[in-house]
Amino acid sequence: MIDNKENNIDGDNIKRSSIWSYTPVMVATAIFCCVLWGSASPAIKIAYELFHIDASDTASRLVLAGARFIIAGIMTIVFGSIVAKKVLIPKKESALYILILALFQTIGQYYFFFMSLANTSGVRGSIINAAGNFLAPLLAVAIFRLEKFSVRKMIGCIIGFTGIIIFFGGGSVFTTGGPMTLRGEGAMVAAAMFFAVSGCCIKIFSKYENPVVLSGYQFALGGLVLFVIGQLMGGSLVFYSTGCYMNLIYMGFISAGAYTMWGVLLKYNPVSKVSVLGFVNPIMGVLLSALFLGEQNQAFSIISVVSLALVSLGIIVVNKK
């Protein structure tokens, strides 16, 4: 969940006098952001247990996703306003941009993301979700014409996709379907595609509006739509314990906190220097799933380690100049 943050800053505006441009601070903060993003999969699966949401309860999943992003949107706007030292309000002409991003980045992506994690493990979800990092540059070149063809990026994408294919059974993924299901791994592929499209959209829209404004308001709008649809379908959230409140607030902070800090890093550092650290994201997703979901056997198998290494290498090759 990183490429759509790349366009936050023009290289000419980098302020190297800031503490955020100090390499150890930049690296530590970027890794912390990746820890937050990587914790999304286990946090969501834990939420299903805390709120007693069954894998077949689509309506309640939508309510949960909606509540998370309403909170994330409010947090992002508040955090961004504090950083900017002014209240962030979108321009009138940005309404269409916010609507489009809400459709792809929140409604589309997280409808499938939450569906997937109800039907597959956190480790599998974290690895296949990394496909968005490789779909984004392909779409940017072939569909949106945002970038020129790059052999380096194509090699990175091939390496990354190879890692994902190996993890899911190699060639059997295409011949026999491999160990995949449409509502599990298939839904995560759909989420990755929505992520890639939204990443390209925000690169275009951020030329006309502050990316933090776009993200914060689209989070809130997309979350509201998911929440209302879920309730109309009969879904609900029952807070059985204090842990339910803490989990929901934390899930909101994952998006808001990581996005805001990543944006600050992009403001004071070259994009490639920050984005190349995105390889930590799937690693954190797998490690945290092993730690909090008890998926150690799956996370530390030889196939998983090789696949994760290839995925991470692919992200490095795609982003490093």
State residue 268's pLDDT score: 84
**CB-CB contact of 194 with 36 (8 Å):** no
pLDDT of residue 156: 94
Residue 271 has pLDDT above 80, yes or no: no
Give 3's pLDDT tier (boundaries 50, 70, 90).
Answer: very low
Q: In percent, how much of the chain has pLDDT > 70?
A: 92
Q: Are 118 and 55 in contact (CB under 8 A)?
A: yes
Query: What distance lies between CA 47 and its chain's CA centroid?
Result: 17
Average pLDDT in the chain: 89
Alpha-carbon torsion, ordered 304, 274, 211, 81, to 10 deg = 110
Mean pLDDT calculated for residue range 112-135: 94
Question: Is 56 exposed, middle or buried, given 0-12, 13-18 or 19+ CB atoms closer than 10 A?
Answer: exposed
Q: Is the pLDDT of residue 97 over 60?
A: yes
Structure tokens at 234: 């009969």
Count of residues making up the chain: 321
CA 49, CA 100: separation in Å to the nearest integer?
Answer: 32
In angstroms, the first-to-last Cα distance of the chain is 20
Largest CA distance in the chain: 56
Enclosing H/E stretch for 66: helix 58-84
Q: Are 115 and 58 in contact (CB under 8 A)?
A: yes
Q: pLDDT confidence of 170, banded at 50, 70, 90?
A: low
C-alpha to C-alpha distance for 170 and 38, rounded to whole angstroms? 24
